Structures are given as C-alpha cells and as structure tokens.
Amino acid sequence: MDTTVDLDTFSSLVERPDESARRAAEERWQRLDKPPAGLGRLEELGSWLASVQGASPVRPLNAAKVVLFAGDHGVAALGVSRPTAARTAQRVQAVLDGTAPVAVLARRYGADVRVVDLAVDADPAEFPAEVTQHRVRRGSGRIDVEDALTPEETVRAFRAGIAVADEEADSGTDVIVLGDLGAGSTTVAAVLVGALCGTDAAAVTGRGSGIDDHVWMVKCSAVRDALRRARPVLGDQLALLGTVGGADFAAITGFLLQAAARKLPVVLDGAVSAACALVAQRIAFRAPEWWRAGQSSGEPAQAKAYDRLTLTPLQSLEVSTGEGVGALLALPLLQAASDTLADPADTLLVTKVTRAPQEQPPLPSAAELLGRV
C-alpha cells in the first residue's frame, strides 16, 4: 500500500470563501428593517454562510448532518478517562438506537446522524457494516510510551476522512456538525495542541470527563511524556498524527481538509475537533475560514486551539460530553441566520416541507384500551 499522501495539494485545493457573496450578504442585512447590527452575531453568521455557499441570498440550511468519528485510545488504560473503552461501544449503540443526547437533539433540529468507527475497542460485528466500513484498527497505541498508529494505518485513517467528506458533499449535505466518541480522546487532544502551540502539559490538560485532582495529575504526566515524543515529528503532520494522535484524529483531520476543499462548511465541537483543526491549519492555512466553533467546552486545549485558529465560539455552554452535542446546539443559530438572510420564498418552502403532516398510526379505541387494563 502507498504510505504517502501529498499534503501540499491541499494548500492549492482549499480556496477562500466567496468574498463577493459575503459583501452582498452584508448589504442585504443593511436593507432589512432593523437597527444597524441589531441581530448581533447572527449577521456575521449569515454573511459567513453566504460566503461558503457562494450565494446571496443565502440558501436555507435543510440538509444538516452530524458526523461522529469514533475511536478509543490506549492512553485511557492509565485511568485518565472516566468512561472506559468498554463504554464506547455502548455509546455508539445509543447513538444508533436514537437514545443518546446527540440523536435526540438531532431529531429536534432536523439533522441526520452518522457514526464512523475508525478504532473503537470492540468487535466490529457489534455495529452495522456502514458504521465500520472505514475501520482502521481496534484501539490505538498508548501515546506516552508508543506510537498510536503505524505509518500505513495513519494514511488509511487520513484517507478515510477524505472519503467521508466526499460522500457527504456528494450526497447534498449543506452543513456538517462534527463530533467524536471514544475513551482517552481529550488526553490526545491536549498533546496535539500542546505540541503545536509550544506549551507545557499543565496549560493544556483539562478535566475531560470530570476527573478529580489525582487523576488530573496522572493525565498531566501522560501528556508531558507524549509531548516529548511529539516534538521530534512536529514538522510532519501525518507523522505527528501517527505518533501521538489516533485513527479518529487522522480521519477528522483529513475530513476537515477535504470538506474545505469541497466547500462544505463545518461546525467544530470540543477539544478533539479543535486539535484536528489546528493540525489541518498547518497543512492548508485557508481551511479555518470554512469552519465555525460551535461552543466553548471549558477544556484548556480547546481554548488554546481556538485562540491560535482565531475562531470565537458561538456559545459558552461548557458541554463536555463530546458526541457533537455542543456543536449541535449551535445549529439553530446557523439555521436562524440562514432563514433570516434567505429569500423569503425559499424560507416558506422549507417551512412547509418541515411542517408537512406526517402519517400517524391509528389511535386505539376505548374498547381496546379497556381491554388492556
């Protein structure tokens, strides 16, 4: 298998969003019957949507997709994460069953949900084939003492992320809500952000899944040791992802780059997507213009990454559960911005489709109900 990827091509493939569409959107805001800047950050969001769509009036968002990249990390064996790798399979199943918070909220906001298993530490037979079709391995190496992936696995994961972005762009998805699932992922994110920002372990290590002081110190030690292993490969982004990342991190990075190349806007979630965005920025400096930060989770690694990316979170909810929940909570803001700036006829059409009566099962008769008592 070819173990190389020409990362330099992304610099030319990723273009800037359409500035003329942005200016047209800003002029459209000024013509609306409202005080100047009266809609606050919704106006910036609407203008950004115009630029990434390359159109003004903006097209209403009616094909949002939550994409969750799942993978477990060997560093979780140190006890740095309250949910263990064994829990990841249960969390994936809850998403597929529609009972997880992200699935419940996605139904409310009219978004579909997709899970991509890259390295869940479970038997792939536990999940449907469409979930595991891009799987690279089971779990990953313990990054404080060994590489997360081999070079071949890193390339496979990176290319899997590219493939998922292509699949979503080709299917007509108009905005991606990005999320992750897995044990030990905030530790990995802290290492990547710390390495790329040149900070020490304590400055990027957070509480993740709600760990106590003792576990936080263990986590800091793991991040410190992994940072030592990361520094020699800082100049090679794929080597960095293979050394101290994981299959899900490599896939998300490839996904973010290809989504930007395909002009597909993405809403980032927590520390994991922020860390991958930071790696992707090193590969294609224009790529962050295609992303928005959904919320602030309270993780120091996320805050450090967003500061470097010059992305301001849309909300400060401190949702730390992962699974794309924090980013998904920002989707109504984007929908509101697009609807307000769209052609009124387009907005009415979307509303009619959304509110179309759905076929309901017949209600039981009184006799049937009494018969069940």
What are the pLDDT tens digits along the chain (373 aa)?
Answer: 456 788 989 989 999 999 999 999 999 998 888 888 888 899 999 999 999 999 989 999 999 999 999 999 999 999 887 766 678 999 999 999 999 999 999 999 999 999 999 999 999 999 999 999 999 999 999 999 999 999 999 999 999 999 999 999 999 999 999 999 999 999 999 999 999 999 999 999 988 767 788 889 999 999 999 999 999 999 999 999 999 999 999 999 999 999 999 999 999 999 999 999 999 999 999 999 999 999 999 899 999 999 999 999 999 888 888 899 999 999 999 999 999 998 876 655 554 444 444 444 454 444 443 444 3
What is the Cα–Cα distance from 29 to 23, expressed in whole angstroms?
10
**The pLDDT of residue 373:** 37
The helix (run of H) or strand (run of E) holding residue 109 is helix 101-109
Q: Is the pTM of this model over 0.85?
A: yes
Q: Classify residue 361 by its DSSP letter.
A: P
Which residue ranges make up each domain of the chain? 64-336
Neighbours of 55 (CB within 10 A): 15
Q: Encode 28-77 in three state secondary structure.
A: HHHHCCCCCCCCCHHHHHHHHHHHHHCCCCECCCCCEEEEEEEECCHHHH
Q: Both tokens of residue 310?
A: 């010059």
Cα end-to-end span (Å), the chain: 65
Residue 293: burial class (beta carbons within 10 Å; 0-12, 13-18, 19+)? buried
Q: Mark whether 368 is an active-site residue.
A: no
Whether domain 64-336 has CATH 1.10.260.40: the reply is no
Neighbours of 291 (CB within 10 A): 25
- The one catalytic residue in 146, 289, 323, 359 is 323
**The pLDDT of residue 3:** 61
The answer to whether 221 touches 215, Cβ cutoff 8 Å, is: no
The answer to whether 5 touches 159, Cβ cutoff 8 Å, is: yes
> Edge-to-edge strand order for the sheet containing 64-71?
112-119, 64-71, 175-181, 266-268, 291-293
C-alpha distances (whole Å) from 34 to each of 31, 167, 371 are: 8, 40, 59
Q: Classify residue 342 by its DSSP letter.
A: B
Neighbours of 113 (CB within 10 A): 23
Cis peptide before 57 (omega within 30 of 0): yes
**The pLDDT of residue 83:** 65
Q: Classify residue 139 by its DSSP letter.
A: S
